Structure 1
Amino acid sequence: MSLTPAFPVLSAAETAALLPFAALCDTLASAAGEYMAGAICSPERQVLPLPGDGVLLSMPATAQDIGIHKLVNVCPGNSRRGLPTIHGVVSVYDAASGAPRLILDGPTVTGRRTAAVSLLAIRALLGGVPRHVALIGCGKQASAHAEALAALYPGLRLDVHGQTLAGAQAFCLQHAALPLSLQPAVGRIDAAAEVVIMLTTSKQPVYDEPARSARLLIGVGAFRPDMAELGPLSIAGSQLFSDDPVGARHEAGDLIQAGIDWAAVASLADALAGRFDAARPRLFKSVGTAAWDLAAARCALANWQAGQ
């Protein structure tokens, strides 16, 4: 009996090639409306503990065309072992028959769809093409966001804030081939930055400046109630949006700790539809949902089939 699977198991590079950011953003924009309308079923993720503050995340989702199941292990202690923080896979199935179609690299799907969601937030909420963006964090999500920004906004100035200047400089050197003006930084955000994207797993706020209408805030890294990248000063003065307002009630530590009114949190679909006040400051909190993995799987599967 052959042990070779009847469906492709793709590497990180092969998965990335099937998820170009422009097409992925468009697929996610469509999925955002489907998700809010109930056409994509994406229950809250199941979180199981692993040793050393790690977690195993089980995230299924289904629609009329496909079903997916993402299994991802997040192990913060891996940095000390010289290993990636995230490992996992996304399995893709035909909805009608249940037959497997693809196995995608989980961290690549997560990184690219998360960055694409941030770019959708910029598209919807900034009110123009960004010229100056600041990233706080130098990890894998920061890499995915730098690649996404380079793909959609080449020539952009991108300030990269690390815990140390040496770490920020190393990140900029690693990504020097991207068509961006990369500037390593630590400390306070440049006043000219139109977008600030937080990409850390900090348990203390890394940004808490007064909210202002000329700067869009995007919080990505804090995904547990005990984490908080954004401080209460920034949150209190902002219109609040989340990619998944239901999941955010349990996972968005920044918002949970700030004691916000959850009835006031709008969705990504609301942002894309223009349902907000452009004269007031805006804050977008990304917590992730398997609906976005399903959208990424759609994009990957369509491109895979087109190449056959």
Structure 2
Amino acid sequence: MKAPSIAVFNAEQTALLLDFPGLVDAIATACADYASGAICAPERQVVPFPQGGVMLSMPATAHDIGIHKLVNVVPGNRELNLPTIHGVVSAFDGKTGRELCVLDGPTVTARRTAAVTMLGLKTFLRGKPEHVALIGVGTQAVGHVQALAAIYPGLRVTAIGTSLAKAQAFVEAHRHLPLELNAATVTPHDIDAVVTLTTSAVPVYTQAAKAGLLVIGVGAFKPELAEIGEATLQESSIYVDDVAGARHEAGDLIQANVDWSAVQPLSHALAHGAPLNMPIVFKTVGCAAWDLAAARCALQKIK
């Protein structure tokens, strides 16, 4: 008996299904749904994987669809010149449980992560940014510079690397994007927002908190990692994309011993606004609800 075919999309095809303007809107909707309980997204399960890797299982369900993101992270792949992350996002019909499609997992993660940052810029700045700094020029920075080009064409963006050569190489690789790209090794002073995109164990951004300057932390996703310094955090209003996940994974906040009773979810700012006259830090750790939002976007185009 021939098995029924299921649409499987590779990385390039998945990216085409996830345009950033639509993805940002879908995540804003999912954020409200998640806060109200309309999306069920338990904390991710981490299982040991061979070769020192980990398998991450992240399901989420809503009235219309269910998704399951299953990805493997194998650090040793760097020595083999292979990506460290492989995996898929499977989408299922909410009425019948029938398989709908399979998306490329790393692509979904990269694009929905960048879309959450774009939602943060939209929510926590008074207007459109004129100058944004990206600290880090690795894989996460690629998704973010693509998102900035799609949402804020013409934006001035400074890419900050551990060396000027690395930053310049990143800029040259993305000259085709409609952005004013510059390379640097230090954070400029005339920026509206700074986004940290590293896996550093020590803070890469330690400047004093400043009203009107939005700090977005993306890269530190383990308790032992920290990109944003304690001084910045202690003087800022702190928002996170997912409070439950942040309590266990936001190393910046954990190491700074922040007052968790004062930490607000992004959904609160979307519903009630944010104190834009205060310094703001927006920390993201990811959530399966955002993967569900991405699947919704993809399915709209597939149909």
TMscore range, shorter length: over 0.9
Q: Share of identical aligned residues, percent?
A: 55
Q: Distance in 2 between matches of 1:227 and 1:76?
A: 16
User: What residue is the counterpart of 2:49 in the other structure?
Assistant: 50
User: What residue is the counterpart of 1:179 in the other structure?
Assistant: 178
Within 5 Å, which residues of 2 pair with 1:120-135? 120-135=119-134
Asked if the contact 1:21/1:152 (under 8 Å) is kept, the reply is: yes
Query: How far off is 1:76 after superposition?
Result: 3.3
Query: How far off is 1:141 after superposition?
Result: 1.1
User: What residue is the counterpart of 2:19 in the other structure?
Assistant: 20
TM-score (norm. length: structure 1): 0.95
Which of 254, 259, 262 is residue 260 of structure 2 equivalent to? 262
Asked if the contact 2:212/2:276 (under 8 Å) is kept, the reply is: no
User: What residue is the counterpart of 1:103 in the other structure?
Assistant: 102
The residue type paired with residue 37 of structure 1 is S
* Unaligned 5+ runs, structure 1: none
Asked if the contact 2:93/2:100 (under 8 Å) is kept, the reply is: yes
2:278 counterpart of 1:275 = no
* Unaligned 5+ runs, structure 2: none
The residue type paired with residue 218 of structure 1 is I
Q: Distance in 1 between matches of 2:72 and 2:149?
A: 28
Query: How far off is 1:49 after superposition?
Result: 2.7
Post-superposition Cα deviations, 1:105-129, rounded to whole Å, max 9, x if no partner, equal 0011000000000000000001110
Asked if the contact 1:72/1:86 (under 8 Å) is kept, the reply is: yes
Post-superposition Cα deviations, 1:213-245, rounded to whole Å, max 9, x if no partner, equal 121000001111011011101111110000001
User: What residue is the counterpart of 1:31 in the other structure?
Assistant: 30
Q: Distance in 2 between matches of 1:37 and 1:84?
A: 36
Paired residues, number: 303
Q: Distance in 2 between matches of 1:108 and 1:177?
A: 20
Within 5 Å, which residues of 2 pair with 1:282-301? 282-301=280-299
Query: How far off is 1:51 after superposition?
Result: 5.1
Q: Distance in 2 between matches of 1:203 and 1:50?
A: 23
Within 5 Å, which residues of 2 pair with 1:135-154? 135-154=134-153
Secondary structure of 2:150's partner?
A: helix
Asked if the contact 1:124/1:274 (under 8 Å) is kept, the reply is: no
Within 5 Å, which residues of 2 pair with 1:155-234? 155-186=154-185, 188-234=186-232
Secondary structure of 1:196's partner?
A: strand
Q: Distance in 2 between matches of 1:8 and 1:71?
A: 17
Secondary structure of 2:219's partner?
A: coil
Within 5 Å, which residues of 2 pair with 1:56-135? 56-135=55-134
Q: Distance in 1 between matches of 2:111 and 2:85?
A: 13
